[in-house]
Structure 1
């Protein structure tokens, strides 16, 4: 049964201007090393520089045969703005100011993301694709794979260059193989992109 394997990562650590830091470049290279043994068919990245640069850094360690390209669906965006009844009180300030047009644009991008990538292959061959994106699109893809309500993208976060794997097969629900795995990163490279707090 043909499978679309998605190897998904948030871009490496970036500065306030959206450019990769030295830490971010090292994270991206470690991520590339993690994937080096896989038969990657394509690397897709968000249009934003921090994602494009991450894709180029990790591709150093891939076979070289996989094309690297931009996918507009991977842009950083809010995939779903909850209704007032759905918003947990602590999230209300985050969504303050989102108007209906902006919310609709974000949801259209989210729908295009799943329509393009969260589907089985067309043919009989497996597909192995790397997606370099941002925390919110990853949360949306996980929510979609688990068939959760739209609001459940909230509360899912991804560390920089952590690995999430989703598999899509014909006539079967998607499989979340792993989420936010950082085992390829040295301890000092882990947990960036999260609020500072104690970690186990």
Structure 2
């Protein structure tokens, strides 16, 4: 299958929580987001879920397609897809942090809730490239 661009995979804030649901440590992160920007991010998040967070389709004869899609994107859209798979409240995308080049796998099957097969797996990277950007003392 060819590589194609997906507008839904751009880096964006999928949901700007209200003051009551924003953890104090995140309050400053949302400074400067106006209503139009928040609505645009939410529309992108809804489009992301509609396009990628679903059971694969069927063939003309009714056989289930086995689809494997590789999404190359940013931490926020990954957090949104994981939050959606877990059926968690919208503000729970906060704090679902992914490292650069980490792998997350979500499986969608007929009649079952989505399955988080792996989240933020960096085992394909040499140890010195895992958790780039974190100080040595607080690397997991």
SS of residue in 1 equivalent to 2:104: strand
CA RMSD of aligned residues (A): 1.1
Which protein, 1 or 2, shows the higher relative CO under an 8 Å CA cutoff with sep ≥ 6?
1
Distance (whole Å) between structure 2 residues aligned to residue 92 and residue 147 of structure 1: 24
Q: Which residue of the other structure, out of 91, 104, 118, is the alignment partner of 2:26? A: 91
Distance (whole Å) between structure 2 residues aligned to residue 170 and residue 176 of structure 1: 15
Where structure 2 has 5 or more consecutive residues not aligned to the other structure, the ranges are 59-63
Distance (whole Å) between structure 1 residues aligned to residue 43 and residue 96 of structure 2: 20
**Count of residues in Structure 1 that have an aligned counterpart in Structure 2:** 134
With structure 1 as the length reference, what TM-score do the two structures score? 0.65
Q: Which has the higher strand share?
A: 1
Deviations 1:95-121 (A, max 9, x none): 111111110000000000000000001
Match of 1:137 in 2: 77
SS of residue in 1 equivalent to 2:37: helix
Where structure 1 has 5 or more consecutive residues not aligned to the other structure, the ranges are 1-65
Match of 1:69 in 2: 4
Match of 1:169 in 2: 109
SS of residue in 2 equivalent to 1:132: coil
